[in-house]
Amino acid sequence: MSIKALHWSFQVPLTGDLKLVLLALADRADHYGRCRATSTAEIAYACGMTAYTAANRLRQLCRQQWIVSEDNALPMPETTHDYLLLLNRSPQSVTTEGA
């Protein structure tokens, strides 16, 4: 677990399931934001959601460029991937819709 990754993830302007999945990844990340061999099922269990919902939220986080799947594969319900949290992306530089 990386305090740096957790701190960063708390600053990211997300809510609900997206925030929860990002926090679950941050809890598994090293100091550089790398999450090795993280299964969608583990994330789903940690977040109290189905594997399908977790895979969907992981894809959303990839599309929004908060994380990258290091093997360039889309997260699916029964898969394991290496993820990278984009810790160099400043959460404060993002404007949220409706704000």
Task: Tell me if 68 is assigned to some domain.
Answer: yes
Task: Tell me if 97 is assigned to some domain.
Answer: no
Q: 98 or 10: which carries more pLDDT confidence?
A: 10
Is residue 93's pLDDT more than 70?
no
Task: Report how many domains make up the chain.
Answer: 1
Structural domain for 46, as ranges? 3-91
Which helix or strand (DSSP H or E) is residue 69 part of?
strand 67-69
pLDDT digits (tens, 9 = 90+) for 16-58: 999 999 999 999 999 999 998 889 999 999 999 999 999 999 9
- How many other CB atoms sit within 10 Å of the CB of residue 27? 15
pTM to 2 decimals?
0.87
Task: Tell me if 64 is assigned to some domain.
Answer: yes
Task: Tell me if 52 is assigned to some domain.
Answer: yes
CATH classification of the domain holding 46 = 1.10.10
Task: Tell me if 99 is assigned to some domain.
Answer: no
Residue 85 backbone dihedrals phi, psi, to 5 degrees: -80, 135
Is residue 97's pLDDT more than 50?
no
Out of 9-13, 27-31, 74-78, which region has the weakest mean confidence (pLDDT)? 74-78
Percentage of residues in the chain having pLDDT higher than 70: 93
Task: Tell me if 43 is assigned to some domain.
Answer: yes
10-17 long-range contacts (CB < 8 A, ≥24 apart) are 11/91, 11/92, 12/66, 12/91, 12/94, 13/91, 13/94, 13/96, 14/66, 17/47, 17/49, 17/53, 17/57
Task: Tell me if 24 is assigned to some domain.
Answer: yes
Mean pLDDT of the region 89-96: 66
Q: 75 or 49: which carries more pLDDT confidence?
A: 49
